[in-house]
């Protein structure tokens, strides 16, 4: 079996001062990568002045273990911040091979109580933050003809979780970004995959029951992230669940549906609802054009 080895590779991990990002950065460095450890150092909800300590401590840990790392304290949610994070990697190590967009905040509120500032802040850090860092990184990867981008979504978006419309929208937006970026990266050997993690961190400490929090170690998520960022990984556009020793794939599937030869009425739709809404025989498509085959093959039903 070949080893997942990042010797000679340069990696950026955003939000790497704590939680999952910290563990990704430590493991990347242990496996030979030169790592840019980005973290703004704010509170869980993104408030506060920010601090350099979280990123510095992780860089120190990496160096103590014999690895190479550089700290960066920029905000992923700004264009300048994203560019400067990538510039930190280019100045220190000359290129970017691996990018893990991981930085995140949480501001849960039920929808009727969700104020615009709590919508905007969550969308900014997760969705805009992914755009702001991934764009300059992607440009460098394209020039080099190699890249591994892992973005961070969540089952809260892909499946749904009460009280997290802002977070769910941002996380599903990130999955949508990956669906498209995987196509744009294909001919440059840039793979773009989506992590759906679950782990006990400060983000989940009052969300998970205490026993689950203890057992859902971040270390369970990291191996899947390492594989998805490796040279060996040839897949792109996959959403991978990783938690507590459980690993699986989720993706958006399209059911076979039905086809009318003429414009149907609302009643025709109602009449055929079972077949229209069924996921039996559903398929995954890598791009929109692939769906046409299924559209053409759909069983034709008659208007009533
Ligand atoms: P965490 O709160 O332990 O770590 C997030 C880090 O991101 C913090 O160190 C924080 O300072 C940093 N950060 C926040 N805003 C930033 C910004 N604007 N610029 C730079 N750094 C910033 O959270 P955790 O649990 O490690 O989460 C990591 C990612 O995984 C997040 O995107 C989160 O939404 C996602 N996730 C986590 C789950 C879990 O069960 N822990 C579940 C699903 C998704």
Q: Per residue of the chain (304 residues), give pLDDT as tens.
A: 999 999 999 999 999 999 999 999 999 999 999 999 999 999 999 998 889 999 999 999 999 999 999 999 999 999 999 999 999 999 999 999 999 999 999 999 999 999 999 999 999 999 999 999 999 999 999 999 999 999 999 999 999 999 999 999 999 999 999 999 999 999 999 999 999 999 999 999 888 888 888 899 999 999 999 999 999 999 999 999 999 999 999 999 999 999 999 999 999 999 999 999 999 999 999 999 999 999 999 999 998 8
Does the annotation mark 167 as catalytic? yes
Does residue 76's CB lie within 6 angstroms of at least one atom of ligand 1? yes
Q: Point out the ligand 1 atom lying closest to the alpha carbon of residue 41.
A: 11
Please state, in angstroms and rounded to a whole number, the distance separating the CA atoms of residues 239 and 249: 6
CA-nearest residue for atom 10, ligand 1, is: 15
Alpha carbon of 186 to ligand 1 centroid (Å) = 28
Alpha carbon of 19 to ligand 1 centroid (Å) = 7
Alpha carbon of 44 to ligand 1 centroid (Å) = 8
Does residue 103's CB lie within 6 angstroms of at least one atom of ligand 1? yes
């Amino acid at each position: 079996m070949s080893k997942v080895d990042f010797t000679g590779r340069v990696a950026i991990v955003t939000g790497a001062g704590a939680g999952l990002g910290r563990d990704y950065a430590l493991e990347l460095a242990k496996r030979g990568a030169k790592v840019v450890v980005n973290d703004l150092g704010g509170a869980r909800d993104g408030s506060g002045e920010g601090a350099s300590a979280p990123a510095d401590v992780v860089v120190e840990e990496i160096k103590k273990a014999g690895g190479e790392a550089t700290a960066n304290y920029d905000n992923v949610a700004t264009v300048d911040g994203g560019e400067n994070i990538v510039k930190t990697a280019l100045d220190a190590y000359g290129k970017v091979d691996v990018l893990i967009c991981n930085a995140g905040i949480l501001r849960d509120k039920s929808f009727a109580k969700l104020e615009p500032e709590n919508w905007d802040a969550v969308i900014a850090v997760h969705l805009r933050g992914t755009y702001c860092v991934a764009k300059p990184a992607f440009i460098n990867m394209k020039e080099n003809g190699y890249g591994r981008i892992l973005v961070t979504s969540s089952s809260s978006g892909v499946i749904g979780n009460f009280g997290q419309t802002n977070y769910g929208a941002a996380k599903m937006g990130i999955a949508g970004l990956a669906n498209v970026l995987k196509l744009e990266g294909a001919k440059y050997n840039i793979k773009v995959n989506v992590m759906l993690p679950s782990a006990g961190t400060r983000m989940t400490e009052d969300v998970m029951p205490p026993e689950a929090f203890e057992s859902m170690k971040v270390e369970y998520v990291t191996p899947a992230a390492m594989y998805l960022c490796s040279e060996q990984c040839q897949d792109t556009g996959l959403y991978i669940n990783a938690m507590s020793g459980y690993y699986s794939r989720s993706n958006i599937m399209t059911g076979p549906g039905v086809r009318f030869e003429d414009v149907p009425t609302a009643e025709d739709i109602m009449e055929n609802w079972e077949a229209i809404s069924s996921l039996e025989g559903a398929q995954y498509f890598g791009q929109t054009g692939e769906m046409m085959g299924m559209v053409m093959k759909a069983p034709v039903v008659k208007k009533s």
